[in-house]
Chain A
Amino acid sequence: AQSVAQPEDQVNVAEGNPLTVKCTYSVSGNPYLFWYVQYPNRGLQFLLKYITGDNLVKGSYGFEAEFNKSQTSFHLKKPSALVSDSALYFCAVSRRALGSSNTGKLIFGQGTTLQVKP
């Protein structure tokens, strides 16, 4: 079975400092990994994804994530945090490509609240 773990319920960081939101996964075969952000009472917004290729993936709003196969991790990072980055972040994994004939459904981690203080 596939699963995703986000070990931190909350991450606090000062504005301008680098941030890291951790994610580890468990899936048989090649994983397809995603990061989404959710603002209060809103749906999810796509940040970035890893399908294949370079382990360092760059996404929206200056975020990036590094796929580490040996550590089965896909940590989200940003060099300089903004107060507006404060939100709930979800890591997700799919065992199959979303475009395949299989549904490619996503399994989400439990979410990490990012709090960026001025």
Chain B
Amino acid sequence: GAVVSQHPSRVICKSGTSVKIECRSLDFQATTMFWYRQFPKKSLMLMATSNEGSKATYEQGVEKDKFLINHASLTLSTLTVTSAHPEDSSFYICSARRVIREGELYTGELFFGEGSRLTVL
């Protein structure tokens, strides 16, 4: 199946620093990627939709100046947590959408990265 790579898998940083997480689709092009945040034993909260070549669409309540998203190419989206604080500590997961054309029908499937655990001290 398709592979989505997320890096780093773990990162520990000091409060006030910025952290960048990368999400790459390794064997397909993804015009759309999604960023999720997951709290311990909790569901995934959709943070934003990353669109190649345009601005990301943020979900209600997500600070776009805090969580900067850049989708500079068809295979890479980055999430930067700016001026990180302990409450930003979480498991961040990305997913990439692969669109498949079957005749006249377009279908799609999401592939998820392995997640990045951020710990802010």
Which A residues form the contact surface with B (CB < 8 A)?
36, 41-46, 49, 51, 88, 90, 97-100, 103-111, 113
Residue numbers in B under 8 Å from A42 (CB-CB): 114-115
Cβ-closest chain A residue relative to B94? A43
Other A-B contacts than A98-B99, A105-B46, 7 sampled, CB-CB below 8 A, are A41-B91, A41-B117, A98-B97, A106-B95, A107-B46, A108-B46, A110-B43
> Are B43 and A90 interface neighbours, CB within 8 A?
yes
Among the 9-residue stretches B13-21, B63-71, B74-82, B104-112, the one with 4 or more Cβ atoms under 8 Å from chain A is B104-112
* B interface bracket (residues with beta carbon within 8 Å of A): 20 to 34
> Are A97 and B108 interface neighbours, CB within 8 A?
yes
Residue numbers in B under 8 Å from A113 (CB-CB): 41
A7 to chain B, nearest CB (A): 13
B72 within 8 A of A: no
Cβ-closest chain A residue relative to B105? A99
28 residue pairs of the A-B complex, CB under 8 angstroms, read A41-B91, A41-B115, A42-B115, A43-B4, A43-B114, A44-B112, A46-B111, A51-B107, A97-B107, A97-B108, A98-B97, A98-B99, A98-B109, A98-B110, A99-B99, A99-B101, A100-B108, A103-B32, A103-B51, A104-B108, A105-B49, A106-B34, A106-B110, A107-B46, A108-B44, A108-B46, A111-B43, A113-B41
Q: A99 contacts which of B1, B46, B91, B100 (Cβ < 8 Å)?
A: B100
User: Measured between alpha carbons, how far is A51 from B97 in the docked complex, in Å?
Assistant: 16
User: Measured between alpha carbons, how far is A42 from B91 in the docked complex, in Å?
Assistant: 10
Residue numbers in B under 8 Å from A41 (CB-CB): 91, 115, 117
Residue numbers in B under 8 Å from A99 (CB-CB): 99-101, 105-108
Q: A108 contacts which of B43, B97, B109, B111 (Cβ < 8 Å)?
A: B43
Majority SS of interface residues in chain A? loop
Which B residues form the contact surface with A (CB < 8 A)?
1, 4, 6, 32, 34, 41-44, 46, 49, 51, 57, 91, 93, 95, 97, 99-101, 105-115, 117
> Are B107 and A98 interface neighbours, CB within 8 A?
yes
Q: B49 contacts which of A44, A103, A108 (Cβ < 8 Å)?
A: A103
Residue numbers in B under 8 Å from A97 (CB-CB): 106-108
> Are B112 and A45 interface neighbours, CB within 8 A?
yes
> Are B109 and A46 interface neighbours, CB within 8 A?
yes
